[in-house]
């Protein structure tokens, strides 16, 4: 309920009027200050939003402005020759980075679940060019080195092999049947990829007859595997440990 000054005098006495005036002026002052604060905050948010957009645009422009491609993984063929000029013009390249670290999980041995007859795939029926993950790792290396011009010391790649992926590292995938992927694995090793084999998987392979136990046969595990393989106690824990060291996890 609102009163005029004369009404206040009648209602509450003359001494109340100055107090009411002070309160009214204070309320008007605070309302004005609140409006100024809200206006300033709104303006600041607008500026921040515009600045963020500008930075994003600048970063995107800088990102797309990378020198790319330095080359291609397609031999003498350029990206334009392979895919057309518009594809190369809109190609988004990676930044050329240092100290890239990747840990690749290899938990299968074949990219196919069934062979050409429709039967479930086996190590002895998986085609030599259908190995799981090996081609992906080679493509990654080609992209770093050929497309982006990175050096060998700019990136490091490790592969943790476990479960069904363990068949990729067997010296023989069956009685008298050499590993058809051994040359591809050796090539990756020559390019700096480190392969780590899970010993939990090794124990399972021993129990299943794929490997022989050293205590019973006198044949050490490494003699039953592709040369150059290293070992970890547990594959999944090893992947987590590599991630803790700054490696980025990759699942092909």
β-pair partners for 172: 178
Q: Which of 36-40, 55-59, 107-111 has the highest mean pLDDT?
A: 107-111
For the four alpha carbons of 184, 189, 192 and 198, in that order, the dihedral sign comes to: positive
Q: What are phi and psi of 132, to 5 degrees?
A: -75, 130
Tens-place pLDDT, residues 177-233? 999 999 999 999 999 999 999 999 999 999 999 999 999 999 999 999 999 999 999
Please give the angle made by the CA atoms of 85, 86 and 91, to the nearest 5 degrees.
100
Checking if the pLDDT of 38 tops 90, the result is no
Q: Which residues contact 113 (CB under 8 A, 6 or more apart)?
A: 120, 121
Tens-place pLDDT, residues 162-189? 999 999 999 999 999 999 999 999 999 9
Evaluate whether 104 touches 252 at the Cβ level (below 8 Å): yes
Which of 234, 211, 252 is closest to 109 using CA atoms? 252
Distance CA 121, CA 81 (A): 37
Tens-place pLDDT, residues 6-16? 554 444 455 55
Q: 27 or 57, which is more confident?
A: 27
Distance CA 158, CA 110 (A): 19
Tens-place pLDDT, residues 121-163? 999 999 999 999 999 999 999 999 999 999 999 999 999 999 9
Percent of the chain with pLDDT over 90: 69
Both tokens of 187, joined, read 């090539």
Distance CA 245, CA 247 (A): 6
């Amino acid at each position: 309920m609102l009163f005029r000054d004369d009404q206040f005098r009648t209602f509450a006495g003359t001494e109340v009027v100055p107090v009411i005036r002070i309160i009214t002026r204070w309320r008007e002052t605070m309302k004005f200050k609140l409006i100024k604060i809200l206006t300033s905050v709104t303006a600041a948010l607008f500026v921040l939003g515009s600045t963020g957009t500008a930075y994003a645009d600048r970063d995107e422009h800088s990102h797309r402005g990378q020198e790319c491609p330095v080359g291609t993984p397609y031999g003498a063929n350029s990206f334009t020759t392979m895919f057309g000029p518009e594809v190369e013009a809109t190609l988004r390249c990676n930044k050329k980075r240092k100290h890239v670290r990747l840990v690749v999980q290899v938990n299968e041995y074949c990219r196919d679940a069934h062979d050409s007859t429709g039967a479930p795939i086996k190590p002895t029926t998986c085609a030599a060019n259908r190995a799981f993950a090996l081609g992906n790792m080679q493509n990654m290396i080609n992209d770093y080195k050929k497309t982006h011009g990175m050096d060998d010391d700019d990136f490091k790649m490790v592969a943790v092999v476990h479960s069904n992926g363990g068949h990729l590292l067997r010296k023989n995938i069956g009685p008298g049947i050499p590993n058809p992927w051994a040359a591809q694995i050796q090539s990756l090793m020559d390019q700096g990829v480190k392969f780590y084999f899970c010993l939990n998987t090794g124990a399972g392979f021993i129990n299943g007859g794929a490997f022989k136990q050293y205590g019973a046969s006198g044949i050490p595990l490494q003699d039953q595997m592709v040369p150059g393989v290293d070992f970890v106690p547990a594959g999944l824990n090893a992947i987590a440990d590599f991630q803790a060291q700054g490696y980025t996890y990759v699942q092909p």
